[in-house]
Structure 1
């Protein structure tokens, strides 16, 4: 579904080896609030979701990088770099497949929206770093830069975005506190511009890094949100001029739940588990 590596270089990729989250943090990622996984009874189905993957040695990390680069050669869902759609002036492009990783980086002009792909910033005074090209993190950061005058720091994976406590207001890069709503427990409904964060699942290669998408539409009455994103399925958006897809939204007892299933359907075998949604606590 969504390889979402924020590595800045081959060296960064090889060095990346995230530590296991503590029990409280992991419990929060799977929607258990402050209850520690260590307190769960044995044989609790689903307790593994959201946990960090086992540590990898340098050789295995190098092998994975090489495999990710080979995946860019195809077969592709649609060709690498082909336009998928545009939301609020921010264009999304195909990453070929979720397994593909090209060590190329996007930089965006916050004022004009111009995007350049390069090994390093073409003009540090003008361009903001967005991320590895056509990955989900890159799109989310680029949408925030263009539409909210906000950015956020480097993250090892898309799933780690949920743990961020501050973003940066542009152009001065002043800190902006970030809040989050736990899926199924949060009392604040998803709103336009929020980042929807998917859990990592190290048992499933498609979800090893989680995923992130931008909320670009909400209908509380009909029970759906519209998402804009890259590197989910690498297919043309449902509405190429507005949003990638819709997913279901439920309100139960004043608390909100997002399910990675299209309205009118009850199943999505390839879908992911949503941790929650992230947002600035103070608008720029």
Structure 2
């Protein structure tokens, strides 16, 4: 003879089981996050910080000491380790230019170890050029700003120029794992730009220069 649970009893049992599963899943997920990624966070790890005008989302890395070796992909293409500065720059180039750069240990390595990007669709090399801060080549949207090794204990930093306004004397950038704060708008921060004679200077500490794809 078949037995049936009364509807209210069945519903209570179902929701209790579901709540237990969600609780255990949350505990397991929390245990996977190391202590350095849960303490002294400017914003919680993985929280959306903002989007640039092209819609590329920046995520919080908690603080600059946090490293979780979890790879991220965009449309099947590897972009880097979540949510490092190198990952954002590579993802931005992929979305906006259709190119990526090769593996690097640290952001500083993009300056002298990356001599080309790769077109993902055609698997072709794309030439790149380096322009030191103070060069006669003005920064442009899509350039990568590369910062010296002294930043973040020897890793350096990379950010993407998303807007340039020479009249106002500013550039706007998007990035991950620098301030790890909510973006004020469609950019993470603004940097002052001045022209002295034929030289262009971005007034930002430890900035080496900007890297440009020949697209």
Normalising by structure 2, we get a TM-score of 0.81
Q: Number of matched residues? A: 181
1:166 aligns with 2:116: yes
Q: CA RMSD in A?
A: 1.4
More helix by share: 2
1:77 aligns with 2:33: no
2:199 maps to: 255
1:130 maps to: 79
Q: Residue 207 of structure 1: CA displacement?
A: 4.4
Unaligned runs of 5+ in 1: 1-67, 110-126, 261-271
Normalising by structure 1, we get a TM-score of 0.62
Kept in 2, the 8 Å contact 1:259–1:273? The answer is no
Q: Residue 70 of structure 1: CA displacement?
A: 3.0
Q: Provide the rounded CA distance (Å) in 1 between the counterparts of 2:104 and 2:94.
A: 16
Q: Provide the rounded CA distance (Å) in 2 between the counterparts of 1:86 and 1:256.
A: 27
More strand by share: 2
From the CA coordinates, give the structure whose radius of gyration is larger. 2
Q: 2:65 aligns with which of 72, 95, 99?
A: 99
**Runs of 4+, deviation exceeding 2 Å:** none
| Cα distance per residue 1:215-274 (max 9 Å; x no partner) | 0010112111000000011000121xx1111011111121111112xxxxxxxxxxx410
Q: Provide the rounded CA distance (Å) in 2 between the counterparts of 1:156 and 1:233.
A: 21
Q: 2:164 aligns with which of 203, 210, 218?
A: 218
Q: Secondary structure in 1 aligned to 2:191?
A: strand
1:177 aligns with 2:177: no
Q: Secondary structure in 1 aligned to 2:87?
A: helix
1:246 aligns with 2:210: no
Unaligned runs of 5+ in 2: 1-32
Q: Provide the rounded CA distance (Å) in 2 between the counterparts of 1:91 and 1:172.
A: 25
Q: Secondary structure in 2 aligned to 1:158?
A: coil
